Chain A
Amino acid sequence: MTEPFVELHCHSNYSFLDGASHPEELVEQAAALGMPALALTDHAGVYGAVKFLNHARRVGIRPVLGTELEVDGRHLVLLARNMRGWSNLTRLVSLAHKDQPKGEARTTLEKLAEHQVGLFVLTGCKPVGERRLRQLQDALGKDDVFVELQNHLQPEDGWLAAGQAELAARCKVRTVATNNVHYHLPARRPLHDVMTAIKNRLTLEEARSLLKPNSEWFLKDRREMQSVLGAYPEALATGWELAQECAVDLDFSQVRFPGYPVPDGETPYSYLYQLCQQGARERYHPITPPVTKRLQKELEVIEKTGLAEFFLINWDLMRFAKEHGVPGQGRGSAADSIVAYVLGITRVDPIEHNLLFERFLHEEMKTTPDIDIDFSTEHREQVIQYVYDKYGWERTGMVCNVVTFQPRMAARQVGKALGFPPDVVDKLAKSVDSWFPESLEETTQQAGFEHLTGSAPWRQFTTLCNQALNFPRHLSIHVGGMLVTGEPLVDIAPVEPATMPGRVVVQFDKDDVEDLGLIKMDMLGLRTLSVVAECLDLVEQRTGARPDLDRLPLDDPRVYETVSEADTIGVFQIESRAQMQTLPRTRPNCFNDLVVEVAIIRPGPIQGNAVHPYIRRKQGREPVTYLHPLLEPILRDTLGVILYQEQILEICIAVAGMTAGQADGFRRAMNRHRSHIEMRSLHDGFLEGCLQNDVSTGIAEELFHAIEGFAAFGFCRSHAAAFARTSYETAWLRIEHPAEYYCGLLNNQPMGFYHPSVLVEDAKRHGTALLPVDINKSADRCLPEGSDRIRLGLNYVKELGSGGREAIKIERAQGAFGSFDEFSERMRPNPPSAEAIQNLIMVGAFESLGTPRRTLLWRWQESRRGRGRRRGLDPEPAFRLNGKEPDLPSVTPLESTGLEYAISELSTGRHLVHYWRERLDALGVVDSLAAAQVPTGRTVRVGGLVIVRQAPGTAKRLRFFTLEDEQGHVNVTFYPDVYERYRRVANSNSILVIEGVMQREDGVHSVLAKSVLGLQGKDRTLPESHDYR
């Protein structure tokens, strides 16, 4: 029987712009060709190795892991034969990246020889000369070196292959046939060419000499390889022979923990046990039997799964954060655990909120559970540094983030490669960005290229863009994922230098790390925590007392009242347009309701129709029923509707009789893309379990389908609870300490859903006055003046920057500025930029010193560009005022507001729409307050500044706008036909008048648009609306 052909030199798109197929596509194609094994040998890395390995296992072919590395200026393919070989390979790749520019890697034969154990070495894409081959033999021994024979049907390929075969025979080195694969199918060749052009920043025309001459670099089967290299049967057989010797499973289970130092006489488990007992005494007063029982149960599971060290590592992290005043809290499924709660990792009591531990961890779990911790964005770096110091630089690295082609980037780069004119490329790319079109075809229309649709270049463009989507583009660092290992990191995965000095980034992304069961700590930056911390600091400064949020009762009726009225701008997680449309319907009146709110107002549940049944039941319009009595205790909190992942587990355990591990496996399987066969097996297993519990087939079927529909978007209850707690706390702070809270929001931008101008208007409507920037009163950040006023900080003056703010702060510490002249004089050693000075003047920062801003600006500009300079004298300080100014008119209130919008992007005085009111009145426009009283079904004209434009994927081509005026907001809904008619005017104007029909339901109103009038075009001085989908 003929030996199968196995490809051992194969690039995926993880060769970053030098491969045009996903690893999974290559694996699928190999399987389709009957190839029993396949190697992945991307350039200087193993970025796609885990995905490749997993998929190969899934489809049943043998994965061979390797890389193609530059050694002494020539490429060699290295294949790992075993785990020792893998470690050598990862060390070599790490060394090759060290001290090289980003994205480049090179090493020497000497280094390769030092790490050759467990590696096969193939001679690479270019023919090797005798001298070099003998060098390789001398350094690496001839048994592990193989000469590659390739034939891509280029004119010289035939005799080159013959020459290489002859050379190999002369040197007594074996040959191996390879095709240096760069895509799985010939049809991907154009994409590969485009990637080559993108890589070299050229158009295809310009890149011509760099492109491959034909489409032969695809994955070929035995017959195709035979047709070009049939003269070398031994070379064709070598691939499979070597593949069978390669066995790398990437099993790091024995080295995943870095080890946590525990006191003498303690084991990690005994120490954890003690800490938990101590934590429980602090958290619970008194410790009730359910607490003791739950704690004991969790500790037993942790002992059995050997995860005590993992908990200690996370406990230690939080301890560090607490000791150093870094706000932090666990999120995600970790909040299901009482151990995490008593250790201070999470802030939600799993007993009180009925959270299921098994969603987080169970005895049968093979991977390490996820503990995601949010830290205030400002302080996160401090914690990362701590982890480096604690576990050592050798064992710690940041997880990588593979930046992939997204629609805008694809449109821009593919368009450029195809040679589209720069203005066309720009228009296309911007069109993608501004409105997130559903397809590239829609982009054409958006950008005004309708006439091109259907043309050959356009078809190429859209095909290539679609193919390029999600292709790896380059490597970046993951925001918070840290890998900590028991063995030196370079033995496990290659590392590359990160931009920050001393930091390294691992060539595995967060999914890879999870799949390998390694310990990853997710330290995410959450600006809301910075807001809360700053708010609490400011309250403490003003009142002398710091509110203790850990002891905050979660039952303040004022919180639920404002939340039910959708008065939630600036409140964590429940401020979005969709949330505000739901809150008056669900009217949350307890913490549990808030948890539901956080969990369900998201695209998944909306799409899966899970929202409406819950709302109807919450409103009492539909009876709360349960498919089976066994479901009542599980679904009681959510009124009989499945809303949380934990509930699926509970159903599987209580109704289908599964173990926790089986239930979790079932949940995960339902959550993934499943084949028909897998689905049938899940279905049958579930039904069988139900029948054994005397649940009828009909009900079991219904239940299975309910779970099936939900599984795709299910939310973790504990995560929702952790977030809901922060929602509650922020809502409470906004009511109780508004000035401090709004300061926190304004000082931590960008964050949340709204532009600062919207936050400021919200503050004003709630009785907190905003005071303008003042050179003597404004600090570098916004600060409260008393309990109901906020002084805008210097951070809201464009161009001033942190350096300028600091310089002013230092100088002002010597005493207030008495005049602009004095300011100029005193700031001479360290003056802010001219733009910053101009902005300070024009925003009115010197107004309190007496001179009107226009006069001041005249004088200042005269001093800079005036007579003195023209004469070439200019001996005076740059800011010295000279000359007499003409009589200049004062800045009008409208101009003042316009200047504030231009410089600070908000208005401390009147809302911009105030100045349009007369015109709006003349047009018959009602303000938002009056609009709220318009009965449903009546035609109404509303108008205001557009603050939100939304095109949610969940609402079939509907568009939602929010307009803001002096009084508040009005929501507007566009049906597709109306939107199409008014698309341009609606998107190109900042102030709109919209006529439509008032629609009102459960206290939520929205105007169904019929016609649109633009009052003021988009202006760079006006704040941007939040356009999203």
Chain B
Amino acid sequence: MTRLCDPPIPVEVELSPAGAPGRITHGPLLGPLSPTARWLAETDWWARPVAREYWKVILSSELLCEVFHDLHQDQWFLERIYD
């Protein structure tokens, strides 16, 4: 099962030296992140442009989540939790 956060929940993320998300420092869930996958979604450029860098991460070595970096707002969000 996954839980979709709709709307996505803003979080603060600290980046690792490699530029990947390293830790959630502010938000409903906190802790270190281990990225497992990354993808890009860029769409709707003709209306309300969306540009997001998605990361599938393991939070605190136990919880699989999806976070994304909104490239227009420069803001991180938690979007999905696999439980």
Contacts and interface: CB of A to CB of B under 8 A. Distances in A.
Contacts of B41: 213-214
B42 interface: yes
Contact of B42 (A215, A457, A460): A215
Q: Is the interface of A mostly helix, strand, loop or mixed?
A: loop
A214 B40 contact: yes
Contacts of A419: 46
A153 B38 contact: yes
A205 B38 CA distance: 26
Contact of B46 (A154, A213, A215, A418): A418
Interface in A200-226: 204-205, 208, 211, 213-216
Contacts of B46: 190, 193, 204, 418-419, 457, 460
A503 to B, nearest CB: 41
B37 A213 contact: no
Given A155-B54, A460-B46, A216 B40 contact: yes
Contacts of A216: 40
6 contacts: A153-B38, A154-B39, A154-B40, A158-B38, A193-B46, A213-B41
Nearest to B43: A213
Count chain B CB atoms within 10 A of each CB in A208, A213, A418 and give the residue with the most: A213
A189 interface: yes
A806 interface: no
A153 B40 CA distance: 6
Contacts of B43: 208, 211, 213-214
Interface string A135-170: 000000000000000000111011000000000000
B37 A158 contact: yes
A460 B41 CA distance: 20
A528 B38 CA distance: 67
Interface of A: 153-155, 157-158, 189-190, 193, 204-205, 208, 211, 213-216, 418-419, 457, 460
Contacts of A208: 43
B39 A153 contact: yes
Contacts, number: 37
A213 B42 contact: yes
Contacts of A190: 45-46
Contacts of A205: 47
Nearest to A417: B46
Interface string B6-34: 00000000000000000000000000000
Contacts of A418: 46
B71 to A, nearest CB: 11
B45 A155 contact: no
A216 B46 CA distance: 18
Contacts of A193: 45-46
Count chain A CB atoms within 10 A of each CB in B43, B46, B54 and give the residue with the most: B46
A214 B37 contact: no
A189 B51 CA distance: 13
A157 B46 CA distance: 26
A211 B45 CA distance: 12
A357 B2 CA distance: 81
B54 to A, nearest CB: 7
A189 B42 contact: yes
B54 A214 contact: no
Contacts of B47: 205
Contacts of A214: 39-43
Given A158-B38, A193-B45, A214-B39, 7 more contacts: A154-B39, A154-B40, A155-B37, A204-B46, A214-B40, A214-B42, A418-B46
A840 B27 CA distance: 84
A233 to B, nearest CB: 19
Nearest first, the 6 closest Cβ-Cβ pairs linking A and B are A214-B40, A153-B40, A214-B42, A155-B39, A153-B39, A204-B46
B82 to A, nearest CB: 14
B73 to A, nearest CB: 17
Contacts of A157: 39
Nearest to B36: A158
Contacts of B45: 189-190, 193
A471 B42 CA distance: 24
A213 B54 CA distance: 12
A155 B54 CA distance: 9
A151 B37 CA distance: 12
Nearest to A194: B46
A246 to B, nearest CB: 32
A154 B42 CA distance: 11
A736 to B, nearest CB: 64
Count chain A CB atoms within 10 A of each CB in B38, B41, B43 and give the residue with the most: B43
Nearest to A208: B43
B43 to A, nearest CB: 7
A211 B46 CA distance: 13
Contacts of B37: 155, 158
A204 B48 CA distance: 13
A153 B52 CA distance: 11
Contacts of A153: 38-40
B51 to A, nearest CB: 8
A157 B54 CA distance: 13
A193 B38 CA distance: 23
Nearest to A151: B39
A109 to B, nearest CB: 33
A204 B47 CA distance: 10
Nearest to A155: B39
A460 B40 CA distance: 23
A214 B47 CA distance: 15
